[in-house]
Amino acid sequence: MSAQKAAELWTAVLGDLQLQITKPSYETWLSGTVGLACSDGLFVVGTPNPFVAEMLELRMSSLISSAIERVTTTPVEVQFKVTTVLPSSEETPSRSTASSPPRNTEIVYNSSSNGSSQGPSRGSRSLNPSYTFDSFVVGKSNELAHAAADAVSKRPGVNYNPLFLYSGVGLGKTHLLHAIGHRVLEKGLSLIYTTAEEFTNSYIRAIQEGTTERFRDHYRSADVLLVDDIQFIIGKEQTQEGFFHTFNALHMAARQIVITCDRPVTSLTLLEDRVRSRLSGGLVVDVQPPGLETRLAIVRTKASSLGQQFPEGVLEFLAERVHQNIRELGGCLNRIVAVAQLTQQPITKDLVETVIADSLPSPNHRRVTDEAVLTTVSSYFGIDQMTLRGRRRDKRTALARQVTMYLLREEASLSYAAAGKVLGGKDHTTVLHACNRISQQLLLDAHLRQDVTNLRESLLSL
Strands 190-195 and 107-110: antiparallel
Q: Which one, 362 or 439, has the nearer CB to Mg ion?
A: 439
Among candidates 184, 163, 175, 190, which has minimal Cα distance to 133? Answer: 175
Which of ligand ADP, Mg ion, none does 35 bind, CB closer than 5 to 8 A by kind? none
Site for ligand ADP contains 174 (CB under 6 A):
yes
At its nearest, how many Å lie between Mg ion and the CB of residue 331?
A: 15
Site for ligand ADP contains 295 (CB under 6 A):
no
At its nearest, how many Å lie between Mg ion and the CB of residue 398?
A: 32
Q: Which one, 174 or 246, has the nearer CB to Mg ion?
A: 174
Site for Mg ion contains 194 (CB under 5 A):
no
Which residue stretch of 82-90, 165-173, 347-355, 359-367 sits at the interface with Mg ion (rule: CB under 5 A)?
A: 165-173
Rounded-to-integer distance, Cα 389 and Cα 422, Å: 8
Query: Cβ–Cβ contacts within 10 Å for residue 345, how many?
Result: 11
Q: Which one, 173 or 218, has the nearer CB to ligand ADP?
A: 173
78 forms beta bridges with 43
Which residue stretch of 170-178, 190-198, 216-224, 342-350 sits at the interface with ligand ADP (rule: CB under 6 A)?
A: 170-178
Rounded-to-integer distance, Cα 362 and Cα 322, Å: 11
Distance of CA 419 to the CA centre of its chain: 24
Q: Which one, 37 or 297, has the nearer CB to ligand ADP?
A: 297
Using CB under 6 A, pick the residue from 327, 335, 396, 456 that binds ligand ADP: 327
Site for ligand ADP contains 167 (CB under 6 A):
yes
Site for ligand ADP contains 122 (CB under 6 A):
no
Which residue stretch of 40-48, 73-81, 163-171, 351-359 sits at the interface with ligand ADP (rule: CB under 6 A)?
A: 163-171
Angle (deg, nearest 10), helices 292-306 and 314-321: 130
Strand order of the β-sheet with 190-195 is: 107-110, 190-195, 224-228, 256-261, 163-166, 283-286
Site for ligand ADP contains 171 (CB under 6 A):
yes
Site for ligand ADP contains 147 (CB under 6 A):
no
Site for ligand ADP contains 164 (CB under 6 A):
no
Per-residue binding letters, 173-192, with Mg ion (x by CB under 5 A): xx------------------
Per-residue binding letters, 296-325, with ligand ADP (x by CB under 6 A): --x---------------------------
Q: Which one, 146 or 426, has the nearer CB to Mg ion?
A: 146
Rounded-to-integer distance, Cα 151 and Cα 130, Å: 20
Rounded-to-integer distance, Cα 148 and Cα 158, Å: 12
Alpha helices in 61-133 (DSSP H): 61-72, 91-99, 119-126
Site for ligand ADP contains 65 (CB under 6 A):
no
Q: Write 441-448 long-range contacts (CB < 8 A, 24+).
A: 441/59, 441/60, 441/62, 441/63, 444/20, 444/21, 444/25, 444/59, 444/60, 444/63, 445/20, 445/21, 445/62, 445/63, 446/20, 447/20, 447/66, 448/63, 448/399, 448/403
Which of ligand ADP, Mg ion, none does 48 bind, CB closer than 5 to 8 A by kind? none
Query: 194 with 230: CB under 8 angstroms?
Result: no
Q: Which residues bind ligand ADP (CB under 6 A)?
A: 131, 135-137, 142, 167, 169-175, 298, 326-327, 330
Q: Which residues bind Mg ion (CB under 5 A)?
A: 173-174
